[in-house]
Amino acid sequence: MPRTRRPKSSNVVKTRARELRRPMTPAEGLLWQRLRHRKLGAKFRRQVPIGPFIVDFYCHEARLVVEVDGEAHADESQAALDAARTEWLEDEGYRVLRVRNDELIGEIDSVTARIQRELPLSRSAEDYGYLKAEGNSESHPSPAPRRLQSLERSGRERGGGEGELPTPRLCLPGFDD
């Protein structure tokens, strides 16, 4: 897929996006815990300005926008604005996934599964240990299994016990052991 640039956002929109990154609704916080640190295999960012809009969550790799809709979005006038916003984003080449707050709080696993289906299977998902590699029955629950494996190996090489990590040392200039 050819690289495309995001539509430019005004400085006012960018400033407002920065302000919105600070407070989070409980539903947004719950979803953010599932999306952050590439837990689904793709990088997500919060409160991202795209053109004249600020989207709740955005994955650049998949051009996927995830919008969390609270009770205010049930209003007819707000629903019309949401539809126009979704149409604009889709016309610009983004895929938009809308999730209601109550759905998110009650069924977080099904929501993250829906988001996962929208993401392309990337190598990073395997690297971070959240998906099993083809032909590999072993899955690592930790976010960085390869790094931990290398630490375990280095601990054994230094005489540490089986699976024992080396004791971290603080190295400061001028303070030698």
N-term to C-term CA, the chain: 55
Per-residue pLDDT, 120? 84
Using alpha carbons only, what angle is made at residue 131 by residues 25 and 118, rounded to the nearest 5 degrees?
55
- What's the confidence (pLDDT) of residue 45? 95
> Rounded distance, CA 110 to CA 112, Å?
6
Q: Mean pLDDT score of the chain, rounded to an integer?
A: 75
For 111, residues 6+ apart whose C-beta sits below 8 A from its C-beta are: 31, 99, 103, 104
Domain boundaries, the chain: 11-121, 132-165
If one compares 169 and 70, the residue with the highest pLDDT of the two is 70
Token pair 């004791």 is found at: 167
Rounded to 10 degrees, the C-alpha dihedral 152/156/161/162 comes to 60
> Is it true that domain 11-121 has CATH number 3.40.960.10?
yes
117's tokens: 């289906």
The per-residue pLDDT for 35 is: 96
Encoded tokens for 18? 């920065």
Between 124 and 36, name the one with better pLDDT: 36
CA gap 60, 129 in Å, rounded: 21
Choose among 70, 88, 119: nearest CA to 7. 88
Q: What is the pLDDT of residues 52-106, one digit of tens each?
A: 998 999 999 999 999 998 887 778 888 999 999 999 999 999 999 999 999 999 9
**Candidate ranges 41-50, 118-127, 128-137, 140-149; pick with highest mean pLDDT:** 41-50
Q: What is the pLDDT of residue 5?
A: 65
Whole-number percent of the chain with pLDDT over 70? 59
